[in-house]
Amino acid sequence: MPGDVGVVVSALGQLSTGSTFSNDLVQKEAQGLIKEAQSKMDTWNQSTLMDHLYSTAYQGTPFERTPGGEVKSLKALNQTAVTSFQSSRYTAQNMVLSISGAEAPNAETDFKNVASGTLLSSGGRIDFTGAQMNIRDDTVHNAQVLMAYETTGLASGDWAPLQILQALLGDWEKTSGLGDRGSTRLSEVLASEKLVDRFTTFNWQSTHTGLFGIYFDTHNIDHLDDAVFEVFNEYQKLFSFLYAGDLTRAKAQVITRYLSSISNSTGQACDNGKQVSSFGRRMPPSEFVARINAVSLSDVGKVLDTYFHDVDPVVVAHGPLEEMPDFGILRSWTYWNRR
């Protein structure tokens, strides 16, 4: 009920900052996480490859570590480490309170009483390393590939064109029933030539850095090099042959996906919290729509030229990789012959 918001906020604050954990409880939870991490090491999927992608792209930085924790670090966990982490990170300056619906008048006051502390330094730009990691395994029948580029953080004005670029590349899988009639040029090419079983485009952005790329899974390992080339070549095609109709369709997809995500109170609360932590304020839906609609063909071209032309990509692949091009070839494919 709206009148209980203040009580709930206070209770959540106590759970976040006032909980104490015995060493036995910490060890028990750590063992469960260790088993999960070990089982994940034996399962090759998009999530596993993403962990390797971060470790390859952000070598020597905190971003190289898997969010679920590595076995070595999990084994070193103890009560002191958990308590220290909690006291240093779970402070009011590092939290966002998002309420969707009838807000109680005293919710803000209750939140201020939850915790105290100073904001940790967020640091500057995160070092990125262009590289390739091939994990060859001829015992499996399919190859999985992740290819990404370094982009920019959410504070940059390029976040809107990057979302549209994600829609322009799209996604597809052969079990979707679409056949070779995908909604994007890349999906049509990959599907009609039977180069992949499925592919997805991802656009991950944090405060200071970002990764934009494509994951695909294929059983057509004899033409793996063709699939990789088509993905790399699509960025050049979009730069040279992007039409107003394609841009309008992509804008509609981005806006529809966003409005659908905030169609209920849970989605609204999550979106508000994400925007405050990313932009420092809540962006009204009308502003989001206006900023997406304001993106022009030249804006998309600028993003393609800045982040995808003549740069070092990061590539991670697993499976029978006899036909996988080496890094020198992949790097050369980022240099486009302009028309």
The secondary structure of 65-124 as a DSSP string is S-TT--HHHHHT--HHHHHHHHHHHSSGGG------SS--TTHHHHHHTT----PPP--S
The pLDDT assigned to 248 comes to: 96
Whether the Cβ atoms of residue 10 and residue 113 lie closer than 8 Å to each other:
yes
Question: What CATH number was assigned to the domain covering residues 132-332?
Answer: 3.30.830.10
Three-state DSSP at 316 gives strand
User: Positive or negative CA dihedral for 12, 13, 17, 20?
Assistant: negative
CA 116 to chain centre: 30
Radius of gyration over alpha carbons of the chain, in Å? 23
Q: Report helix, strand and coil shares of the chain as percent, to nearest 5.
A: 50, 10, 35
pLDDT per position as a tens digit, 120-153: 445 567 899 999 999 999 999 999 999 999 999 8
Cβ count within 10 A of residue 101:
10
Among 282, 288, 230, 232, smallest CA distance to 256 is for 288
Helix (H) / strand (E) containing 337: none
Q: Is the dihedral of CA 258, 259, 260, 265 positive or negative?
A: positive
d(CA 294, CA 289): 9
Domain locations along the chain: 2-112, 132-332
For the chain, give the mean pLDDT.
87
DSSP of 151-178, one letter per residue? ---TTSTTHHHHHHHHHHH--EEGGGS-
> Using CB atoms within 10 A of its CB, is residue 204 exposed (0-12), middle (13-18) or buried (19+)?
middle
Q: Write out 5-61 in H/E/C secondary structure.
A: HHHHHHHHHHHHHCCCCCHHHHHHHHHHHHHHHHHHHCCCCHHHHHHHHHHHHCCCC
Between strands 172-173 and 198-205, the pairing is antiparallel
pLDDT at 47: 86
Exposed, middle or buried by CB within 10 Å (0-12, 13-18, 19+), for 208?
Answer: middle
pLDDT digits (tens, 9 = 90+) for 12-34: 877 877 777 888 888 898 888 88
Would you state the structure tokens that stand for residue 202, as one six-digit string? 């991802």
Query: Which of 204-208, 256-260, 330-334 has the lowest average pLDDT?
Result: 204-208
pLDDT above 70 covers a percentage of the chain that reads 92
- Burial of 241: CB neighbours in 10 Å, binned 0-12, 13-18, 19+: exposed
pLDDT tens string 58-75: 999 888 887 777 788 888
pTM for the whole thing? 0.85
Between 79 and 305, where is the model more confident? 305
* Region of poorest pLDDT, from 40-54, 191-205, 289-303, 315-329: 40-54
Other beta carbons within 10 angstroms of residue 297's beta carbon come to 12
CB of 23 within 8 A of CB of 114? no
Would the CA dihedral through 181, 187, 188, 190 be positive or negative? Answer: negative
